[in-house]
Amino acid sequence: MNSLKQDIRRALKATFPVFSGYIVLGFGFGIVLHSKGFGVLWALCMSLFIYAGSMQYVAIDLLSGGASVITMAITTVLVNARHLFYGISMIDKYKGAGKMKPYLIFALTDETYSLVCTEDEDNSHRYHLLVSLFNHIYWVSGSVIGAAVGSAFNFAPKGIDFALTALFVTVFVEQWLSSKDHTAAITGVLSSVICLIIFGADSFLIPAMLVITLSLTVLRFIRQRKGDKNDD
C-alpha cells in the first residue's frame, strides 16, 4: 500500500508531460478567450467547471456568436462523444471509488484517461484522484495565466493549438515505453488510421472509438477464455 507522499510523487511524475501541454494549451485558450471580449473570470469558470479543452475552444465562437443553449448542448455532446466510450471502459477500474467517483468521472479527459487506464495494481483510487486533480490544476492555471496575459499585452495565438498534437504524441510515447504489452496501442492506431481513410478527417473519431472499444472487448474476452482454459 503506497503512502500519500509516494502517490503524490508518482502522480506528479506521470502528469509532467500533461503539465507541459496543458499549460500551453490553457494559455492559448485564455488568450483567444480574451481576444473575444471575455476576461479572467470567464477563463477560470470555464476551465474549472467545463474542463474540456477542445469544447472550450469551440465554446468561444459559440459564446461570441450568440448561439442558443440547445445549440451549445448538442455541440458539446458531439464534440465530447468519445468520453462515453472512455467511461464505459473505466467502470471496473473506478468501482469502489466512493466519494471520489463523481470527480474522477468529471475529470476524465483524454490525457487523464491515458494515464489512469494502464493496468497497474499499485494504481489506487487515491492515485487516480491525484492524477485527475493535478491535470485539472494545470489546465485551470494555464487558462487563467493566458487570459491575464491577454488582458495586459497584445498576444497573437497563431499556431499555439499545435501543442495539442504534440501533447498526444508525448503521452502516447510515454505509455508505449512504460508498457510491455502494446496490443491496445497498436489496435488504437490501426483502427484510427482505417477509419480516417474510410470516413475522412471530419467524421472518423466516433467510428474509430467504436471500433477500438469493440476490438479491445473481443481481445479481452479471448484472453479471459485462454486464462480459463489454462486454469483447467
pLDDT band (50, 70, 90) for residue 160: low
pLDDT at 164 over 80: no
Tell me: the pLDDT tens digits for 92-116? 888 888 899 999 999 998 889 888 8
Tell me: the pLDDT tens digits for 115-152? 887 656 566 889 999 999 999 999 999 999 999 998 88
Amino acid, res. 217: T
Q: Which of 130, 155, 171, 129 is nearest to 27 (CA)?
A: 155
pLDDT at 37 over 60: yes
Q: Write b or e for each residue in 5-42: b if 16 or more Cβ atoms lie within 10 A of its Cβ, otherwise e.
A: eebeebbeebbebbbebbbbbbbbbbbbbbbeebebeb
For 148, how many CA atoms within 13 A lie in the half-sphere containing its CB? 7
Burial class (CB in 10 A: 0-12, 13-18, 19+), 112: buried
Tell me: the pLDDT tens digits for 175-226? 677 677 788 778 888 988 998 899 887 777 678 877 887 887 888 788 777 7
First to last CA, the chain: 32
Amino acid, res. 141: S
Q: Rounded to an integer, what distance in angstroms lies between the CA atom of residue 97 and that of residue 207? A: 30
All three cell numbers of 67, joined, read 448561439
Regarding predicted confidence, which is higher, 156 or 67? 67
Amino acid, res. 139: W
Q: What is the pLDDT of residue 107?
A: 92
Regarding predicted confidence, which is higher, 174 or 12? 12
Mean pLDDT across 72-78:
77
Q: Where are the domains of the chain?
A: 4-178, 181-232
Q: What is the pLDDT of residue 141?
A: 96
Q: What is the pLDDT of residue 226?
A: 76
Q: Using only C-alpha atoms, what is the Rg of the chain?
A: 19
Find out whether 53 and 136 touch, Cβ atoms under 8 Å.
no
Q: How does the average pLDDT of the chain come out, rounded? A: 82
pLDDT band (50, 70, 90) for residue 46: very high
Q: What is the pLDDT of residue 183?
A: 81
